[in-house]
Structure 1
């Protein structure tokens, strides 16, 4: 047998901790094969060693040696290894030790090598998960050149069987425990209990060091492998080495939350016990590790609240049940939250994120991501060209960065009949294979808006938009300043008797319009210029059979037919377009031809007085004109245009509401509505909600106030916008979100939830006169993306009321809970992103503590963590 003295250090601290320069290791007898056997101690120091005659023990040793062959390119050949032929055959022998102290030992010299395990003959198959097999692995590694390691600063040693000063060697048959220590040499403690592990396989660092010498065995588990673990089958810590293929870790049978990491060189805890169990130690052995260089692509989570991290590969990760947090990492990942309230992070790459049922938060990250909503979700696309797919009838919030790419929203449910594009979304489309009536409203971007085969209302708003209605009777709405839009009706295959497409100008009169024919690539289109502005509309391929609009309606009561529009095109072609803002061509034409300029009884016009106008059962278009008007559309699909003045627009049907100039009030009694309000810093516009059929409301752009006004108790959620909003609940259990801006949130009675996000400004919460019923009412403030270490509590006196001021360190954000120190105006809980829940007493204690200190200038403080840790120790 040859002993090599050729170990060279690699420069990698995690590997070199197992060796010392010039150390020895046993060489194979032939090729990569080691000879070995069980010694026959017919003679010898029987008081020290004895032959292994226990078949269970022999099979255990064979199994451990097989583990080595899985991860590195070596093999073991078992021979009849008696004392008489040891020096001739080479290799190593195995015996059972009878000495006291220690669990085993190994030795090697010029002619022989051997190792022993104490009381090996007492081993039984039931002992396999008690760490005894890793004593064998420990001694084999000694023969292969490994040394015992103790804690060294900067090293992580728990994931190796070579650790000795963190190991407790109990009596044989008991657990051999390797305690988990962090990189500072401190024991890892969870819920006041020290964590220990029992290895069933070679550790992560053992495999890494072995492969640095012998090379990795890429033929082991080289196919598509599913690693399924259950609480019954996973008894000890196991390390995965995988040679290739598309592989999956399945922990779907675990009931408590798992922490799973697919990156090589990591350990994952699959807890099956509650940390509240009595005792000072916690059995964390139900854990798995992934060796360096092992590529695991997919994961299926359990039934609890899981945390799963992907790696740089294209991962498919499913959270399944529970409130899960999934991280894709690099690569083009597919993340499925499953049931529960999930948080998904796509991170890098072109990812697909689906929250599943529940109230979910999806972060696309960088790359061209697809975010799929089936619940009441908040979707953050991030950078790249993102695609939002909406299947849910719940209120879905989309947050997209400006200049974050060209982003698209697709609506796949018939139950959403009114969609308003979120800020910074470019493209919106309905599923074109469905036939139902809906409306889509764009934003200030250059939008592409595609309807379906129903009767659609398409509103581009500002920006240079492309609008396409397809089949059905579509209405295109255009207002002053809406830019240079294109209407495409070329693919609608309309039915002339029933389909009637309309272009409606909300605040532009007929005297401001100029019609011309344009040609592009042999196709003739209609261009409508708004005089005195850069606004225009091009109706693509107007002069083909299916691309015309049956009516064009203006603010001053003019309704033009197809024939009239084309006649005006011919007339205007003989004249020069005026340089000013008006022309008499259309009015003169209507007078000369004797044509009725108000040909549609469903279009109603007010005057400059304070009008009260009520629509009927039809689909009405109502212009209020100047004055403080009250307009109600009645039943049907209506368009209500207030015009100048402080107008009240009342929606009972499927309505589109334009307030215009002035401080307007929108009364919502129906289930479908869309509000278009112009921004004016001098106006204060209000949404009053009277319907109980809809439970989720978001303030339309440029609306300052939103409030529930129904007298009956019902539970609803209200979300503000980027203005300084007033958000008022009712006597039910409300969820109130101010959004950006300095908002005032009022919950009144009931168990109310206040949502605050980073960057939401300086908000005020009023819970006054809420007549709390302590046993049932529980008001909660939730910080969605702010941790406890970022909060600072102080008592503040406002309007002679002692209030609670909560500042977000490192920002200008804050929340003032008015009159907190009265009997009825407190919030029962404050919850943070990192899982901290503070009670009333804890908040007031923290306010007292912080009042004695100076608020940090940085972004975090340890006061809350220290306070909770001290409280936990006192409770224990």
Structure 2
């Protein structure tokens, strides 16, 4: 009541009440301090009030507040205050806001109040209460008490400034907090105490530092409750290490801990001491760390790490990973496919029935004196364990199931004495021991199945027996027998003997001088390095000696072998192909096949192919795998002798390729393939359809009889096709091509070539589109028996055809007229010559080709202004580009102007004229003609006859002439002309162009009052009175696009299309004047004169 009337005096009264009766009232549940804090934050405090409060021992303020040397009570008002006490026993109240309270010296009481506060006790035995908010509490030196209760948020206690060994700080839970509602857990090095039913918790930092709550940095030595219960350090630890049914992360303390993860994927760390860790269910992680620990993963796929000292690890059920680490450890993976790594120390690995497929690996321990044991459990006898090598690993399999244990790196460096081998002895429950030597012996024993055996670093004997085996001798002079099956044998280091036996085997000798026998089957033998002996045996074998001077053996019954050694390109090598006893020199035939040498034994199909013998057309090339051929009788064939034998022809289909010099190859009979290679060669195809290729050099190629293909290659070649339909290709150089008898194809290629042609040479074609050079000068040379007067010249499409009189012989020069110009780059002939010295230039050839005859001519002009007169016959004339003049003459002719302003005159006959581009003039002449102006402003005159005129695009003038003509103006401002005696024409003027003006113009002798307008269906009829002459405009009444816009009479009068209907309507009342009446009768004029005068202007 006093505070309400006068807050300042009310606050002073409250302070005096608290000072003298505060303790007594506190026993009744009244807190004067809390009320002072509340009122001090609200009351207006003048200087006098402040002085009075200070006299009573109480300081109230905000912001930076400092106490005195006496025992002060300091109250912060609302806001973020910083309160610093003096040296007495002080009481500090932060009030609202995020405050910082510092007790300094003395036994102080710090109350943070609401907000996230920071409290420093300073020296002395202090009491710190953060109250509501997430507070940080630092007791500093002295035996301090930390208060915490419901609603106090998430506080943190830290006192690493006080490392005195005798300190005794207490975490005091406030009234209302029972022991059973406080859960303890470890979080790293911290202790976290959480109150049930909310989010309140207090964290004690560094409680578990060094895995011991006795460490000097731990700020709490006991936990107390309002009911008197007290938790010691040991009790706190015990509560913190209790697991749950979820995923626990627990770390023990120094000493012998027992940690049980129970259900869930747990992480357990024993820390120092001889600990026992049980993972329980779930995929757990167990770390023993220091001490002789026992780790049991339980069910689930667990990871166990023993740490230092002698540990025992049990994986339990699941696919576990066990790491012994330091010490003499015992590792038992239990059921499941486990990974076992003992680490440093002499370890023991246990394995038995039902333990799955375990792997032992300890490459982290490379000490040379280690002695690790693989101990089979009771129930496993020696005779049920099979041993085999798999790569660098040793695999021991238990009979009757899938259980097996793999020892990684046992065979590293092909020796179990290597430092990475994790097992030095195998023991059984009955006392039997297997040493590394005994294990190797068992591992290298073959079976009737598919074996994979690798020897040691000494002289091994490996026999694969049955099955598709893989044998590897490793280092040393080894002997490997593949036996039956498709085997793979690898000699590796040492002078090895490899015998594939029966089957399709692969043998690789490796380093040093090896001997390889393929045996029966299609084998692949690789000598690799060293002077090796390779014998493929029966079957079609692949033999590759590799680097070194090797010997290849071959004989009767050895099949079809191939020798290839492109991996050895050394220039000084000397490899031998040694024919076995029973093979005489005279029964060996040599032939070239591409780059290969093929040696065939008579009387069967046995042959050996030496690949790359002819590479670069020289057996001296570095890829040739054979430098000499030897026989059992001492005969030797050098490379030169082998070449001579290989290039001899037969009566059959030969394939011969010369060397890099001047060769003479004669194919003889059969369809032969001859290749001169480099050098000035002479090739004769002989009889048959032969293929001759000169390649480099000035070669002479003669196809002989048959349909041959000749290719000169580079340089200046002479090609003679001979009899038959031949194809001659000069290719590079200034070549001479003579197809001879038959219909031949001649292509000179690049260079200035000469083509020969004469009587009896058939129908040849010259084409050289592969040579588009602008400076070429190719000659068509007629032979001695051809005179200029007997050669006819004509154009056929783009080709020039020259025909010899008196027969069917002719030669066609393709692309001569390409682009309508013989100067084009694709024309294969630039001049024609005769034996008498006569020459026809391009211009003369064109003139001859374009001359017409009395027959049906087909002529196309060039790119200039041509003049053609078809004269007699049904001719086809095409002007091509340029302003051309074309006269069809008599006959049904077809004239086409194409580009240019052309003049086309059809003459007599039913002709077709097409103007093409530009402004053309077309005269149909006599006959029923068809005229097409096409593009441009054309003039079309049909002449006599019933003609069809189509103007096309552009503003055209169309005059049908005498006869019943059809005129189509199409697009453009067109003019249709019509005169007396022109018959009955039809105009179709379909033009959708907006604003165009088409006109129908009548002759000078036809006046406006002599034109009679009438309607017939959708057409408009305009007749000349007193005659049969008439113009019909189709579609006039169906669509405006069919109308002409103006009518022009001979007297100069003009009628617009919009005035036509007035005339049609007026004249519809009368019959047209009778024949012979050239003017309107008087009875008509009374009505029509006014209408005519009103509309014709």
| TM-score, normalised with respect to structure 2 | 0.28
Larger-gyration structure (1/2): 2
Structure possessing the higher relative contact order (Cα contacts under 8 Å, 6 or more residues apart): 1
| TM-score, normalised with respect to structure 1 | 0.34
